[in-house]
Amino acid sequence: MSSTASGAAKPTVTVTLDGTNRSTTLPLLSGSIGPQTVDIRKLYGDLGIFTFDPGYGATASCESKITYIDGDAGVLLYRGYPIEQLAEKSDFIEVAYLLLEGELPNAAQLEAFRKGITNHTMVHEQLRRFFDGFRRDAHPMAILCGVVGALAAFYHDNLDINDARQREIAAYRLIAKVPTIAAWAYKYSIGQPFMYPRNDLSYAENFLYMLNAVPAEPWKANPILSRAMDRILVLHADHEQNASTSTVRLAGSTGANPFACIAAGIAALWGPAHGGANEAVLKMLTEIGKPENIPAFIREVKDKNSHTKLMGFGHRVYKNFDPRAKIMKDTCHEVLGELGIKDEPLLDMAMEMERIALTDDYFISRKLYPNVDFYSGIILKAMGIPTHMFTVLFAVARTTGWVSQWKELIEDPSQRIGRPRQIYSGAVQRDYTSVDRRG
Ligand code: SDX
């Protein structure tokens, strides 16, 4: 223990090198909730040793006030508000304000924010030309990654990320423009004309409009689909220091252009172990084909040599139900019911797979539960969203979380460039030999 100025004991951890009299005392830090954290910043200086944590499963990379997850209790809070309450009572624009600014907006703040986002939904007309360079069958995530990265070319020279107002404008531009680019990536892949955003629609309605409308006929928002889309965006908005958010933070820590940082986040999210899982779940369920094939598939998953994973199951942090999966499952039933879809074989399959997995010791012993991706694809398919657009939708929602985390990083006076170390197990120093002397 060390003591504070007032004499109160401050918790510490002492590390001693076995067989030596060398040790150091490290501060034990506490947040407002969650596990205590050993501050190891002086460990290498005192004892000449690193810590080893591949995948950073037990490492706090930063201090944040945005999102809190209790993986054992299945709790997810955005700025302290439970995801269940926000999904039921709030909407995406209000949640975006909450994540970005830290508090729920009053009526005037909400209206100003909604207007601010709406007024940035259009993109520079020249950006349209970037799409033409892609093959028509390019994956929309490849297009989204490329075109969002290209935004950096339109907002770079006069962008000072140390200026609060310019950070705010960059945040608004990204939250507002990513849905437009995402919808255009889809329209490009099906050869239909791009639909420009409309200022009379909500964020979710506008995204559905740009995805589904055509110039040849009027388009009318479907309140069921708009509400479902809005809720899906809320559920995917942020999730602490996941792989894509950590990518955005690492890129942001170098002072890189925020549009380029978000493009890096999109790239990381695309992987099937992360945001690409929703697309992989649909592919898995379709390949299994019918409920009677599920036991054979489960056997394959349990066979390590198959390298087959039950997509949409498991999580690095949640060792209990992912609270988003529960809400997504309820929303699934609601949307299918309201759309009059009585018989959705994929939903029946998913529910049977969940039932079997949750009674199988392989999954129970490894604390594998459905995650956010397990049911989302079934809703999106019922809403008419094509499978290869599922992760794009995830990126549209997560842009708000990435931008909020990027802003918090830049505004953190203690932030430094991210630079992990390693255990080096390669060749020790040796001298060059000319080719005629090699074996
Ligand atoms: C997201 O981090 C986030 O917050 C991400 C996210 C967000 O909002 O940003 O929540 C979004 O990415 C959700 C996860 C989507 N991915 C998938 O659904 C893909 C399938 N899931 C797995 O690939 C896996 O569960 C991960 C990648 C999600 C987690 O990987 P871990 O942390 O390495 O898994 P683990 O250490 O908990 O695994 C423990 C054991 C291992 O077996 P053993 O070596 O002990 O024998 O469980 C096994 C794993 O092989 N396992 C699975 C499995 N997930 C883990 N076995 C079969 N199927 C699975 N899905």
Per-residue pLDDT tens listing for the chain (439 residues)? 565 566 668 899 999 999 999 999 999 999 999 999 999 999 999 999 999 999 999 999 999 999 999 999 999 999 999 999 999 999 999 999 999 999 999 999 999 999 999 999 999 999 999 999 999 999 999 999 999 999 999 987 778 999 999 999 999 999 999 999 999 999 999 999 999 999 999 999 999 999 999 999 999 999 999 999 999 999 999 999 999 999 999 999 999 999 999 999 999 999 999 999 999 999 999 999 999 999 999 999 999 999 999 999 999 999 989 999 999 999 999 899 988 988 888 989 999 999 998 999 999 999 999 999 999 999 999 999 999 999 999 999 999 999 999 999 999 999 899 999 999 999 999 999 999 999 8
For 306, phi then psi, to 5°, come to: -80, -20
Q: Are strands 9-10 and 2-3 parallel, antiparallel or unpaired?
A: antiparallel
Closest CA to 312 of 413, 265, 380: 380
Q: 82: helix, coil or strand?
A: strand
Q: Determine whether the shortest distance from the Cβ of 364 to ligand 1 is under 6 A.
A: no
CA distance 13 to 21: 16
Element (H, E) at 199: none
Query: Which residue is closest in CA terms to ligand 1's atom 43?
Result: 366
Q: How far is the CA of 316 from the centre of ligand 1 (A)?
A: 6
Q: Are strands 12-16 and 9-10 parallel, antiparallel or unpaired?
A: unpaired
Q: How far is the CA of 87 from the centre of ligand 1 (A)?
A: 24
Q: Determine whether the shortest distance from the Cβ of 316 to ligand 1 is under 6 A.
A: yes
Closest CA to 246 of 89, 30, 55, 390: 55
Q: Determine whether the shortest distance from the Cβ of 302 to ligand 1 is under 6 A.
A: no
Which one from 315, 322, 343, 431 is the annotated catalytic residue?
Answer: 315
Q: How high does pLDDT run on average in the chain? A: 95
CA distance 238 to 240: 6
DSSP H helix total and E strand total for the chain: 18, 8
Q: Helix 203-212 crosses helix 223-235 at what angle (to 10 degrees)? A: 110
Residues 6+ apart with CB under 8 A from 91: 202, 203, 204, 230, 234
Q: Determine whether the shortest distance from the Cβ of 400 to ligand 1 is under 6 A.
A: no
For 16, phi then psi, to 5°, come to: -120, 135
Q: Determine whether the shortest distance from the Cβ of 239 to ligand 1 is under 6 A.
A: yes
Query: Which residue is closest in CA terms to ligand 1's atom 4?
Result: 242
Q: Determine whether the shortest distance from the Cβ of 366 to ligand 1 is under 6 A.
A: yes
Q: How far is the CA of 204 from the centre of ligand 1 (A)?
A: 29
Tokens read off for 18: 């076995």
Q: Active-site residue 239, yes or no? A: no
Q: Determine whether the shortest distance from the Cβ of 246 to ligand 1 is under 6 A.
A: no
CA distance 97 to 100: 5
Q: Which atom of ligand 1 is nearest to the CA of 319?
A: 37
Residue from 234, 315, 391 to probe ligand 1 pocket by mutation (most atoms less than 8 Å from CB): 315
Q: Active-site residue 124, yes or no? A: no
Closest CA to 367 of 426, 326, 298, 313: 313
